[in-house]
Amino acid sequence: MGTALFLMGNYIAQDASLALPDEPSTGITYWLAALDVFETGENLPSRTNPRSCDAPEDWRMAIVWGRTLLAVADEALTLALQRERSTAPLPPPPAEPKWPSPAASPFAAIAMRRPPASRRITLTTAAPHELLLLAMDQFTRGIFHMPHPTHAADDAPADASARPFSRATELFTIAREVLALAERLPDAAERTRWATWADSVLQQMDMEGDTTRAEWRGPVSRARGRCWLVVGTAGMEDIETKAEESGWDEVLDTEEADEAREGLTRAVEFFERAAQSAKSELGAEEDGEDELQAFLAEALITLANLTKDEDKREELYRRAQLHGGDELEGMDLDDE
């Protein structure tokens, strides 16, 4: 039921018209109900009583539980950003609907059996970083118990109906969704932490041999490049502030600048690897290629702005111009 509620929430979030007249029309209602179901199931006597049967660990539930927490975290982050940018106070999130009897509504049955209210996650009290910590616990649990099938030619991005299980797909989905949330976090340290965590999941795919196959080499390289672009650019605001106070020459010799350059260098390496993979793939999507070139240009420009040697800096700008073309007109080209 928790998985069904998670999927229903995804559909409703994309198109509220899919909800029937008496059903909730916001995805968050379904996701919070899914969390209640997972929490209730985890606290059943069969799970908590040491004398009960030794039920196998449900890795699929753990993965969906983590993805549900990410969905709630994304909703909470969107609300927080809206409040921060709005000049007028925003109305509070709608209160939980009053459900009819459990016999008439599954939401009423879930509410009746949910854990104590003090433990319940709500949109108004949920902090994205805390939800990410909870999601990480579930993902770690799910990945640990997830099967390790031998690699086959069909263990690659494809129609899910023809491929019931792919460990590579599960890992990539987790990393991609965590990264998408990490890129939007306002706190630089949190962005770095969760982009690094997403990269560790992608690195696991590399260690398990997934990137030896062309189907995964490009997508994983692109995603890892995005992770390191987040890491490399996270401290730029502080670096620029210090540069205004003490000058660029001094700031470029700091540990913060070294760490940023390291992250950006790795980002460039992964993006170039992804671009090379795209060249060898027939029918590559043009939109995806343009986005990849934009990521690569951004990494090169930012790295150039942090490079002290003038010749190396100009070479990085030249490479960025080659990849970014006309798109570079609105980007920050440092003229120091």
Higher pLDDT: 18 or 110? It is: 18
Closest CA to 223 of 177, 157, 162, 166: 177
Q: What is the pLDDT of residues 209-247, one digit of tens each?
A: 888 888 899 999 999 999 999 999 999 989 999 998 888
User: Contact 230/192 with Cβ under 8 angstroms?
Assistant: yes
| Least confident residue range of 222-226, 310-314, 319-323, 326-330 | 326-330
| Least confident residue range of 54-58, 269-273, 320-324, 325-329 | 325-329
One-letter identity of residue 305: N
Asked whether residue 326 carries a pLDDT value surpassing 70, the answer given is: no
Per-residue model confidence (pLDDT) at position 49 = 67
Q: What percent of the chain has pLDDT over 70?
A: 80
| Cβ atoms within 10 Å, residue 269 | 15
Residue carrying structure tokens 């989905």? 173
Per-residue model confidence (pLDDT) at position 224 = 98
Asked whether residue 270 carries a pLDDT value surpassing 80, the answer given is: yes
Rounded Cα distance between 321 and 300, Å, is 9
321 alpha carbon, distance to own chain's centre: 29
253-257: average pLDDT: 93
| Cβ atoms within 10 Å, residue 302 | 25
Per-residue model confidence (pLDDT) at position 54 = 67
Q: What does pLDDT average to over the chain?
A: 85
DSSP 154-166: T-SS--GGG-S--
149-172: average pLDDT: 66
Confidence of residue 46 (pLDDT cuts 50, 70, 90): low
Asked whether residue 295 carries a pLDDT value surpassing 80, the answer given is: yes
Per-residue model confidence (pLDDT) at position 93 = 66
Asked whether residue 328 carries a pLDDT value surpassing 70, the answer given is: no
pTM to 2 decimal places? 0.86
Confidence of residue 160 (pLDDT cuts 50, 70, 90): very low
Domain ranges of the chain: 1-146, 151-336
47-74: average pLDDT: 85
Rounded Cα distance between 105 and 253, Å, is 63
Phi, psi dihedral angles at 334 (to 5 degrees): -75, 130
Closest CA to 223 of 185, 262, 168, 261: 168
Asked whether residue 163 carries a pLDDT value surpassing 70, the answer given is: no
Asked whether residue 152 carries a pLDDT value surpassing 50, the answer given is: no
Residue carrying structure tokens 């690659």? 156
Rounded Cα distance between 150 and 210, Å, is 11
